[in-house]
Structure 1
Amino acid sequence: MWQIGNLYAISAIAVIGGGLFGFDISSMSAIINTDAYLCYFHQGPLEYENGKPLCKGPKADVQGGITAAMAGGSWLGALCSGYFSDYFGRKYAIMIGAVIWCIGCVLVCATQNIAMLIVGRIINGFSVGICSAQVPVYISEIAPPTKRGRLVGLQQWAITWGIMIMFYISYGCSYIQGVAAFRIPWGLQMIPAILLFIGMIFLPESPRWLARQDRWEECHAVLTLVHGKGDPNSPFVVREYDEIKGMCEFERENADVSYLELLKPGMINRTHIGIFTQIWSQLTGMNVMMYYITYIFAMAGLEGDNLLVSSSIQYVINVVMTVPALIWVDRWGRRPTLLIGAALMLIWLFTNAGLMASYGHAAPPGGLNGIESQSWIIRGPPSKAVIASTYLFVASYAVTWGPVSWVYPPELFPLRIRGKANALCTSSNWAFNFALAYFVPPAFVNIKWQVYIIFGVFCTAMFLHVYFMFPETAGKTLEDVEQIFTDPNGLPYIGRPAWKTKNEHSRAAMLERVGFDDEEKRAASTTVHETAA
């Protein structure tokens, strides 16, 4: 069968799996404030105002459960994805996720009550967990070192596009009378999954997964197709093939493959780094902004169409500000990008907390417009400053933690365990996504503006954690990264402190452009090891 060999085309198709996550986020954020949703899923006795029902929708804790259901399913899907990926391959694991997504969309679109909606969202989440864990693994294993950050980061860009597109679809459908206002956008979510499944048919399998299965001819053919432009003797193809073969032989002689290996002395440090990369990306509070932005802007005095349009601006900012990271993240490096992002986000979070504490006041009992999560009121110029700080927070996340949180974890682990390791890291993302999605509506009710303080403290902690513990991986081959954490005999060791590790982008770019003989290769490998030591 004919296969696509262009790296950007391969990545563009694969990251549609990330777009599914984005679609799911805004399929709730644009709908939870609409009359159709509030009336259909209203809980408790109806109240009337001027003869019209005053629909309040689900209670705060129930709405948190509905929103968090997707993240709960994603946690389980991410954990299972390691087994799917190792057994079926990276490509077919993603295709399985696309099929499961369509099943979930059917249930969500046809939902008759809150319980059915939650079940459908759990199934959707299971799909997102598989795709979000294995798409970065697939792309990182097929991309060259100088483009790996850019290509894996496309997953985050696809998420931002999914969020924006689905928000505007939902916004347009909000003018439809009756339940079609939310059934149509929920049904349309199937389209990207169908495109993903069809597109993946024409993509090659990961050459590193093929190598692990002893399918060496196919591995070489994929490297030739993607990196050699049809030339099997291309210097870069030869180098990659030899490094993959050497790493596979070493791994077979020195290690078994199980989740327990991630807890062994030689792996526990990088496991903790990968897991916390995903945990911190959630504890920034970004997805809270995505899910509940309409609550926040309603508290700042926006309502009706003005509320939805103003909320949608952050989705546009998210898309646009991800682009600089895609272009330059490999040159910037992982560490500086994460550190700058954490510093900027804590500034905007503490700014919002200060503004709300100084110029706002509590909403009447029951919340604004009968929605108890809208528990605080701020008006006038300070409310405009809250909206501006929210936009700046989104921009800061989009250009830093957004893409790098997907790029960094797959780079940390050796081939034999990469699928399971990234599955575990991504499952941590979804576990905290679930907790935060469920926590925030009741938190707005109970502690109000102090929610911003909590996330500001998290951003401060993540800045310190990254500075002292996260080594630089940019510009290194996946085989070279192994030498940051192990000595030449494969034994764990404490090398150079994380803050002294360097970006190897320039060296990797040179080696990618020109071939080099075995002696130069050994010298380059030694240089990398000494840099990491």
Structure 2
Amino acid sequence: MTRIVNVYTISAFVALGSTLWGLDASSMVVIIGTHQYKDYYGNPLEIRQGEIISAIYVGSIIGALLSSVLGDQLSRKVAIQVGAGLWCVGAIVQSTSIGIAMLIIGRVISGLCIGLTSSLVPIYQCEIAPPKIRGRVVSFHYMAITFGILVQYFIQYGCSFIDSQAAFRVPWATQAVPAIILLIGLFWFPYSPRWLASKDRWDEALLVLAFLRTANCNINNPLVLAEYKEIEGQLRLEGNEESNWLHELLSRKMRKRVFLVIIIHMCQFLSGIPLIIIYGVYVFESAGINNPVLALSILYIITALLSIPSVVWIDQWGRRPSLLVGAILFGFLQFLIGGLFMQYGEPNPVPSQPFTWIINDHPAVTRTIQAGCYVFVGIYSLTWGPVTFIYPSEIIPLRIRSKTVSLTFALYWIIVFLLNLFFPVLFRSISWRLFFIFGSLNIGAFIYVWFAVPETKQRTLEEMDEIFEYDEPLWKSFLNSGDVNRLDRLARDIERGNLKIHQLAHLERTTQYSS
């Protein structure tokens, strides 16, 4: 009988932290177009609106940097709870704001949570998952983001018909609900076994592994002991290496992996996804769509629904093929949409609107642009969306994992902050040329992935050193990625008594393997 609390349900629950990110990603989409918001906050445009939207990313930068300290000292689980608490405070400040300054402060506080959870949720999921389903488990992180975007969008859409300040205060206040559930519920969930091992709490690490891998919490299960042995060996190896984490982070051994993680995240954001997800209403309005709010709702539904197949099949597809296919298709679609705007668009005669280039009386072109945006977000949900969060959490060694992911996300949020700060200005000043810029960046991302990104599907976290240190050809890493017999072989050796497991004294009475 399948136990209710298992790797899947734990990962799905902790993904509520990712839902918070999704709630914020669409928290301004409908609101910024309502007269209630414009009247109360003085119709902010260009750089002022950019400041409001990008304020959350200032907090995200700080939160991402703090995640390494809190994640290592307090544990991944407790640090996520801290983030949930900060989110509740931020939601309260935003929903009660009496001016732009207070709204910005509330978004900065909420950003602290986003910085923490965006870094630590995929790490926690990655560290509790067995290698065969690790990609599937971490994909819950991205799926939760997309459903958070969808839910918040429809909450805003419904509230937009309220002819009062409640049109924007209610959506911001309801964001606290999943954070409260996450904060309380995590008290009943386990710590990461690899974090416990890193703190020399080996008995607890073994018990958590047994809880996660077996229906009856059997610590004598050979596969449980094999994974325990893998963790033990990796930590012993890391313990013999350089003790200065910053030196190790910049060492020749780690440099390639750290750089790869950073570039993957940069390419993901610079694919142009924020142009369509966050500012999609501007794109649809300038394309001549009569009901951009309805069109955007369809876009968010597609984004959420197509995140489900990635959860089911990402461990079969693999990371590398997903990135390659996604990048080349992104580039094509960006050039297509930009070319249609260039060919059929004209200057906007209304200067007070957030876009300066529009398409009039070309219904076929308008429908093509709309369809192109839908295809773009669908491909993103199947490829780069989930893989971007799987890769950083699995390729970095345990000792510097949280620090590397923390640094990566801090740099990521800096780029997000700058781009969102100036995005309204860029959209008004260079309009359709933005699509060409993103299209070119996607072609560059395809080239980088082709030459620099190996396949890691179904390999244990402790095997990543072999993938990156032996410089095997990238195509070979893809072909060999299905070899998941390492733990099985180790389990057989333990079962036959060829390997000794070093247990704590009070656990040795229940575990009788010896060499």
Fold shared, TM-score > 0.5 on shorter chain: yes
In the TM superposition, structure 1's runs of 4+ consecutive aligned residues that sit over 6 Å from their partners are 519-522
- The alignment status of 1:472 with 2:455, answered yes or no, reads yes
Residue in 1 aligned with 2:420? 437
Alignment of 1:57-76 (within 5 A): 57-76=43-62
Q: Deviations over 1:382-439 (max 9, x none)?
A: 1111111111111111100000000011111111111111111222221221122122
Of 85, 93, 99, 1:107 maps to: 93
Residue in 1 aligned with 2:504?
Answer: none
> Is residue 2:241 matched to residue 1:259?
no
Letter paired with 2:424: P
Partner of 2:513: none
Displacement, 1:374? Answer: 5.1
2:477 counterpart letter in structure 1? T
Of 486, 493, 497 in structure 2, the residue corresponding to residue 517 of structure 1 is: 493
The Cα shift of 1:512 comes to: 5.9
Structure-2 residue corresponding to 1:452: 435
* Contact 1:30–1:171 (8 Å) recurs in 2: yes
State whether residues 222 and 495 of structure 2, in contact with CA within 8 Å, keep that contact through their aligned partners in structure 1: no
Deviation at 1:520, TM superposition (A): 11
Measure how far apart 1:19 and its partner are.
0.5
TM-superposed CA distance for 1:41, in Å, is: 1.5
| Residues 348, 355 of structure 2: 8 Å contact kept | no
Q: Distance in 2 between matches of 1:432 and 1:521?
A: 53
- List gaps (5 residues or longer) in structure 2: 499-515
**Structure 1 contact 363–375 (Cα < 8 Å) conserved:** yes
2:480 and 2:211 mapped to 1: Cα distance? 26
Separation in 1 of the partners of 2:289 and 2:348? 14
Assess if the C-alpha contact under 8 Å between 1:296 and 1:374 holds in 2: no
From 334, 342, 359, give the equivalent of 2:327.
Answer: 342
- Match for 2:466: what amino acid? Q
Q: Does residue 411 of structure 2 align to residue 428 of structure 1?
A: yes
In the alignment, which of 375, 381, 406 is matched to residue 398 of structure 1? Answer: 381
Q: Is the 8 A contact 1:281 1:429 kept in 2?
A: no
Change (3 A) 1:278 1:265: same
Q: Is the 8 A contact 2:282 2:354 kept in 1?
A: no
Kindly state the Cα deviation for residue 499 of structure 1 after the two structures are TM-superposed: 3.9
Q: In the comparison of the two structures, how many residue pairs are matched?
A: 495
| Whole-Å separation in 2 of the counterparts to 1:521 and 1:259 | 40
User: Residues of 1 paired with 2:230 and 2:76: CA distance?
Assistant: 20
Q: Give the whole-Å Cα distance in 2 for the aligned partners of 1:68 and 1:521.
A: 58
Letter in 1 for 2:11: S
| Equivalent residue, structure 2, for 1:120 | 106
Contact 1:64 1:441 in 2 (8 A): yes
1:337-376 aligned at under 5 Å gives the runs: 337-366=322-351, 370-373=352-355, 375-376=357-358
Assess, with a 3 A threshold, how the Cα gap between structure 1 residues 203 and 375 changes in structure 2: closer, same or farther: same
User: Greater CA deviation, 495-504 or 88-97?
Assistant: 495-504
Quick one: which amino acid aligns to residue 357 of structure 1?
Answer: M
Residue in 1 that maps onto 2:511: none
**Corresponding position of 1:47:** none
Asked if residue 291 in structure 1 is aligned to residue 288 in structure 2, the reply is: no
Q: Which one-letter code corresponds to 1:373 in the other structure?
A: F
Deviation digits for residues 426-476 of structure 1, max 9, x if unmatched? 222212211221222111111111010111011011000011011111111
In the other structure, the counterpart of 1:186 is: 172
Residue 295 of structure 2 corresponds to: 310
In the alignment, is the contact (CA less than 8 A) between 1:361 and 1:376 conserved in 2?
Answer: yes
Q: Quote the residue 2:115 is aligned against.
A: 129
Once the two structures are superposed, what CA deviation does each residue of 1:175-220 show, in whole Å capped at 9, x if it has no partner?
0011110000000000010111122111100000100100011000
Paired AA for residue 270 in structure 1 = R
How far residue 331 of structure 1 moved from its aligned partner, in angstroms, is 1.1
CA contact (8 A) 1:288 1:437 kept: no
Q: How does 1:328-339 map to 2 (within 5 A)?
A: 328-339=313-324
Deviation of 1:375 after TM superposition, in Å, equals 3.7
CA positional deviation for 1:373: 3.0
Q: Matches of 1:218 and 1:228 in 2, distance apart?
A: 15
Asked if 1:82 is matched to 2:64, the reply is no
Q: Paired residue for 2:507? A: none
Match of 2:268 in 1: 281
Q: 1:233, 1:478 → 2: CA distance?
A: 22
Deviation of the 1:315 alpha carbon? 0.5
Letter of the 1:496 counterpart? E
Amino acid at match of 1:156: Y
1:13 has 2:13 as partner: yes
**Superimposed CA distance per residue, residues 24-65 of structure 1 (whole angstroms, 9 cap, x where no aligned partner):** 0111112111111111122xxxxxxxxxxxxxx102111111
Change (3 A) 1:513 1:30: farther
How far, CA to CA, are the matches of 2:186 and 2:201 in structure 1?
20
TM-score normalised per structure 1? 0.89
Shift, 1:485, TM fit: 2.5
Matched, 1:324 2:300: no
Q: State the partner residue of 2:142.
A: 156
Distance 2:350 2:161 in 1: 30
Aligned to 2:484, the other structure's residue is in SS state helix
Matches within 5 A, 1:170-181: 170-181=156-167
Q: In the alignment, is the contact (CA less than 8 A) between 1:473 and 1:503 conserved in 2?
A: no
Matches of 1:513 and 1:297, distance apart in 2: 55
**Using the alignment, how far apart are the partners of 1:293 and 1:361 within structure 2?**
19
Distance 1:100 1:395 in 2: 32
Structure-2 separation of matches of 1:257 and 1:365 = 58
Judging changes above 3 Å, is the alpha-carbon distance between structure 1 residues 461 and 202 closer, same or farther for their aligned structure 2 residues? same
Inter-partner Cα distance in structure 2 for 1:499 and 1:362: 48
Which structure 1 residue ranges, 5 or more long, are not aligned? 43-56, 487-493, 523-533
Question: Does the C-alpha gap of structure 1 residues 501 and 390 become closer, same or farther in structure 2, counting only changes over 3 Å?
Answer: same
- 2: CA distance between counterparts of 1:503 and 1:213? 36
Q: Deviations over 1:238-263 (max 9, x none)?
A: 10111111111111121325234211
CA contact (8 A) 1:357 1:449 kept: yes
| Residues 1:41 and 2:47 aligned together | no
Which secondary structure state, in structure 1, belongs to the residue aligned with residue 252 of structure 2?
coil
Letter in 2 for 1:417: I
Whether the 8 Å contact between 2:141 and 2:389 is mirrored in structure 1 is yes
CA distance in structure 2 between the partners assigned to 1:204 and 1:460 by the alignment: 42
SS of match in other structure, 1:502: helix
Partner residue in 2 for 1:530: none
1:113 shift after superposition: 1.1
The residue that corresponds to 2:28 in the other structure is: 28
- For residues 309-347 of structure 1, the C-alpha deviation after alignment (integer angstroms, 9 at most, x for no partner) is 111111100011111111111111110000000011111
The equivalent of 2:205 in structure 1 is 219
Q: Secondary structure at the match of 1:475?
A: coil
